[in-house]
């Protein structure tokens, strides 16, 4: 991991850009973090396009910093300036045509769009987690928040260092991930926008039902994809405080 820039924000949070091989990312650490008092870590997911998403990600990270957590994010494979996936680009075009025509979205399109991303993004998150936990000011436990829900599902299954997750039910999920969801056992807090125009509400409810976790909470709010109310974020923050502090 090579840090390429850093700045101390006005709330004391240290913001550092890094690269890890071909993976760019950002790490935010609270002023309280030190080798003698390492901060718990939240991995902050997003749908791709780190530069565009940065203001929103920074706001989430600074909220986490106020609660004593470090936060880190990385650019998704195929996002930002990273090389595109030809198969995913074609699937995205097919998805757009289906939605514009008012047609149901075929499962084969969802598989082509999401599965290659999951297969590459999850190992990259794990490699990033290895590097982050080697820093003296970062410690466990570890949480995962937001982003593409299919990535969160896979991470929750294969990465034992993740202790709890906040998932956003706002993206397509391949049917194979429903079976993986039954293997998830960590505490979950799932956000759902009830009127999300780009999300199949019943599919999101079915996925929530499939999760094997004994502790799982569905936080549903009226409104579209980008209308998540501030109090929903407050509830997610309290969830992490309970499980990562």
pLDDT of 14-54, one tens digit each?
999 999 999 999 999 999 999 999 999 999 999 888 899 99
Rounded CA gap, 25 and 3, in Å? 9
Q: Which of 156, 160, 148, 161 minimizes the C-alpha distance to 210?
A: 156
Model confidence pLDDT, tens digit, residues 161-176 = 999 999 998 788 899 9
The count of domains in the chain is 1
Angstrom distances, CA of residue 77 to CA of 43, 103, 128, 180, 190: 16, 28, 13, 22, 24
113 contacts 92 by C-beta, under 8 angstroms: yes
Please say if the pLDDT value at position 198 is more than 90.
no
Residue 208's domain comprises 2-244
Cα Rg, the chain, nearest whole Å: 17
Distance between terminal CA atoms of the chain?
A: 26
What pLDDT is stored for residue 106 in this prediction? 83
Residue 157 CB-half CA count within 13 A: 18
Please say if the pLDDT value at position 92 is more than 90.
no
CATH, residue 28: 3.40.50.1820
Which residues contact residue 58 at a Cβ distance below 8 angstroms, ignoring those fewer than 6 apart?
15, 26, 28
Of 95-104, 160-169, 204-213, the range with the lowest mean pLDDT is 95-104
């Amino acid at each position: 991991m090579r840090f390429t820039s850093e700045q101390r924000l006005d709330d004391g949070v240290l913001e550092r850009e890094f690269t890890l091989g071909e993976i760019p990312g950002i790490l935010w650490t609270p002023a309280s973090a030190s080798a003698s008092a390492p901060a718990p870590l939240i991995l902050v997911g997003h749908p791709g396009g780190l530069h565009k998403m940065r203001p929103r990600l920074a706001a989430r990270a600074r909220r986490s910093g106020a609660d004593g957590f470090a936060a880190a994010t990385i650019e998704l494979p195929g996002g930002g300036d990273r090389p595109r996936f030809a198969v995913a680009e074609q699937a995205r075009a097919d998805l757009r045509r289906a939605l514009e025509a008012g047609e149901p979205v075929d499962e084969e399109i969802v598989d082509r769009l999401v599965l290659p991303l999951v297969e590459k993004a999850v190992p990259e998150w794990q490699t990033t987690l290895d590097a982050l936990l080697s820093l003296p000011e970062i410690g466990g436990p570890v949480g995962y928040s937001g982003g593409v829900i299919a990535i969160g599902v896979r991470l929750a299954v294969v990465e034992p260092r993740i202790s709890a997750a906040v998932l956003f039910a706002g993206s397509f999920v391949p049917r194979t991930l429903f079976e993986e969801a039954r293997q998830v056992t960590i505490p979950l807090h799932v956000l759902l926008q009830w009127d999300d125009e780009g999300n199949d509400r019943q599919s999101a409810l079915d996925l929530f039902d499939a999760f094997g976790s004994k502790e799982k909470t569905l936080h549903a709010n009226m409104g579209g994809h980008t209308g998540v109310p501030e109090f929903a974020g407050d509830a997610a923050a309290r969830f992490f405080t309970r499980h990562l502090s």
